[in-house]
Amino acid sequence: MKHYASLIALPVLLALGACGGDADSEGAAATSGEPIAEIAAPAGQNWAETVTKTGDGYYVLGNPQAPIKLVEYASLTCPACANFAETAFATIRDKYVASGRVSFEMRNFVREPMDLTASLLTRCGSEATYFALTEEVMANQEAMFTKAQAMGEERYGQVLAMPDGQRYVALAEAVGLTDFFAQRGVSRDQANQCLSDVGAARALADNTGKASRDEGIQGTPTFFINGRQIDYSGWPALEAELQKMGAR
């Protein structure tokens, strides 16, 4: 993927070739490293509510200097990513990130136009709302898929043929995302402004292309801990990796 416009050539959703299957392996390696002491947040702050934006345009939840850095490449239209969000995110946030030992960075890996549309909207609020909006979009996947399928191929093609500044505005309206985000504090005017930002759309798609080239990312979810790619077989095994590094 060299340019975000290439996204318009992808088929209408539910083509899940770039999305891993649900992994629920119970295999967990024994802990090994010494436990890391909790790292207190600055006065008046809570690591579980601290969000910073990286120079590459990704978002980090928690202590930016955490000794254990968990990174997820995720697609907002990937059911396996939604499963991970449902089963693991609260524990990551409230147990590991809150301790200051672990930071959690989300990197959008956009697979197709609705994924890009939703990703633009999660960035439409403040940095502090990014993770909450992302989790809610994941939980809303089924409704998005239903509305996308109801569009039909002809209408979907017409939307994707619209000019750059109109394409994602129309798609968000068609699959109910404009109203969905309006109910969560992102006004219709604000959403339309974000969705018509050609530069922001290009940056998301270019980041995906860069991740594919430089990191070898081929599917989602894909995880790294301190720069090392983890062979993901489910949350229990990933949690064991965090604990092996001292997050306990």
Specify if 64 maps to a domain.
yes
9 located within any domain:
no
pLDDT of residue 25: 40
- pLDDT reported for residue 198: 96
Q: Is residue 240 part of a domain?
A: yes
* DSSP code per residue over the chain: --SGGGGGGS-SS---TTBPPP-B----PPP-SPPPPP-PPPTT--GGG-EEE-TTS-EEES-TT-SEEEEEEE-TT-HHHHHHHHHHHHHIIIIIITTTSEEEEEEE---SHHHHHHHHHHTSS-GGGHHHHHHHHHHTHHHHHHHHHHHHHHHHHHHHTS-HHHHHHHHHHHTTHHHHHHTTT--HHHHHHHHT-HHHHHHHHHHHHHHHHHH---SBSEEEETTEEE---BHHHHHHHHHHTT--
Half-sphere exposure of 150 (CA within 13 A, CB side): 11
Query: Tell me, what's the pLDDT at 20?
Result: 64
| Both structure tokens of 163 | 């000019």
pLDDT at position 134 is 98
The answer to whether residue 133 sits within a structural domain is yes
Sheet holding 59-61, edge to edge: 51-53, 59-61, 102-108, 68-74, 222-225, 228-230
- Burial per residue of 76-103, b for 16 or more beta-carbon CB atoms within 10 angstroms, e otherwise: bbbbbbbbbbeebbeebbebbbbbbbbb
pLDDT, residue 32, reads 61
The pair phi, psi for residue 107, each rounded to 5°, is -120, 110
pLDDT the model gives residue 125:
87
For residue 29, being part of any structural domain is answered with no
Q: The tokens 């309006």 sit on which residue? A: 182
Q: What is the mean pLDDT of each run of 10 residues along the chain (248 residues)?
A: 36 45 43 84 96 97 98 97 97 98 98 96 95 97 95 94 95 97 97 97 96 94 97 95 95
Opening angle at CA 216, ends 239 and 245, nearest 5: 25
- 15 found inside a domain: no
Indicate whether 211 belongs to any domain. yes
Q: Which CATH number do you get for residue 145?
A: 3.40.30.10
What pLDDT is attached to residue 16?
37
**Length of the chain, please?**
248
**Six token digits for residue 79:** 């059911």
36 occurs within a structural domain: no
Range of the domain at 111: 46-244
pTM for the whole thing? 0.89
In total, how many domains does the chain have? Answer: 1
